[in-house]
Structures are given as C-alpha cells and as structure tokens.
Amino acid sequence: MSIRFHGPAKLARLTREKQVLTAHGARGAVIDYDEAAYAIEDEPLLTARANAEDLGGTAPVPPAAGAALRFLASAIAARAVVEIGTGCGSSGIWLLRGMRPGGVLTSVDTEPEYHRLARKSFAQAGFAANQARLILGRALDVLPRLSDGAYDLVFCDADQAAYPEYLTAGMRLLRAGGIAVFNDVLPPGAGPATDGARELSDMVGNDDRLVPLLLPIAGGMLAAIKK
C-alpha cells in the first residue's frame, strides 16, 4: 500500500494553518514547553557554531534539529552513520551523541577547512579520532564506494537540488530498518532547492519501501524508515 505524502509547499501551508488555528484555540489547548530543556548546546556545540559563523558558507543545524538527530540515532541504536555535509561538526556531534558507544560517523564534504574544524569539534566533545571518518570529495562520487546495507542512518544536509540523488544512493547504503534523514526540506521561494525538495517528497511518498515522517523543525526535516 502506498503512502500519500504532500509536497513541501502544501506541507508548509498546512503547518502554518495549524499554527494559526492552535494560537487561536481552535484546536484545543496549547502545550507550553521550553525547547531549550531538550536541545541544549554545550561548549563543544557552541564552539562549532562560532567556527561556522567565522568561516562562513555553512549553517549549523538548529538545536531542535540536532536533538532530533540524536533521538533518531539513539532510537535505532545506530553504530554506523553516513553524513552528507560535514560543516564544522555540529550535526556530527549530535549524531555521535545518539549513536552507540564506539559507533563510527562517516562524513563527506568538499571543503577541507570544514573537516579540519569538525575534527577539532569532535575531539572537544570527547570522541576518539577513529569515531569520525571524514572523506573529502563530492558525495555522489564518494557514496558509491561505501558498502551496501552497512549503515543504520544517512543524514543529508547539503544541496537540496541533489536530494533526490542522495536518496537513491542512501537507499543502497541503508540496512532494513535504517533511516534516511533530510534537513531543510521546506526551502523558501522557488528555484533548484525547492525543485529538489519537491522531487524528494514525491519519491519518498511514492516508494512503498519507505515509511516517511515530516518533522516541523526549523526548515523542515524529512525522515524515512527503510522497510
């Protein structure tokens, strides 16, 4: 049975409508909670964020998105994770904190300076050097060299225009029960990023091998479990 999955534009509209209705009491009581209680950025994460701001060209995941990554990695007891888009190490720290002790994060990026700063961030967060395998290169060139079905989670936080291709590559890498996660799937405006996110949404929604979920966090996080 296929799962009907709305495109990013409709999902964004539905999310806005829900927020407005809830704010006016049309959908019942509003639960007030402190997001920071569940998504705290400590010194290593704050340092990674500061490094990204100083360097420019990369935006760390928001704390709520990081907490979601940690939760997903922990929920499936992930030992092996692939990350597309290392940045300065913020998302990698969240992932490693959710993974099982001794788990290995394989992170791919085209910028050597990002990798240099990410290594420092991982070390500051207390992770051994062998827990992060940083590979320099284009993801679509690197991913075919990784082993089939050997990974528990694939996280994509890179060029949204390439998200459909990353999904295809990620499906090969994931074991049954593994999760593909895409960040910022509700980009504003029109352009290649929006087109890529829309195509990703259609692919996920029409693939009977996947169980999808859109998390209304920051710019939208799409997670899909491989059956």
Express each pLDDT in 149-166 by its tens digit: 999 999 999 999 999 999
Q: CATH: 3.40.50.1240, 2.60.120.260, 3.40.50.150, 3.40.720.10. Which one for 8-12+40-226?
A: 3.40.50.150
CA dist., res. 193 & res. 183, Å (int): 12
Q: Residue 25: is its pLDDT beyond 80? A: no
Please state the domain extents for the chain: 8-12+40-226
Q: What's the pLDDT tens digit per position in 120-133? A: 999 999 999 999 99
At position 160, the amino acid (one-letter code) is: Q
More confident call, 21 vs 226: 226
3-state secondary structure 123-162: HHCCCCHHHEEEEECCHHHHHHHCCCCCEEEEEECCCHHH
Q: For residue 29, what is the DSSP state?
A: P
User: For position 36, what pLDDT does the model report?
Assistant: 59
Q: What's the pLDDT tens digit per position in 72-114? A: 999 999 999 999 999 999 999 999 999 999 999 999 999 999 9
CA dist., res. 88 & res. 178, Å (int): 25
In this structure, what are the phi and psi dihedrals at residue 89, rounded to the nearest 5 degrees? 105, 0
Contact 67/75 with Cβ under 8 angstroms?
A: no
Residues in the chain: 227
Q: Please give the model's pTM, rounded to 2 decimal places.
A: 0.84
The gap from C-alpha 89 to its chain's centroid, in whole angstroms, comes to 13
Rounded to a whole number of angstroms, the distance between the first and last alpha carbons of the chain is 13
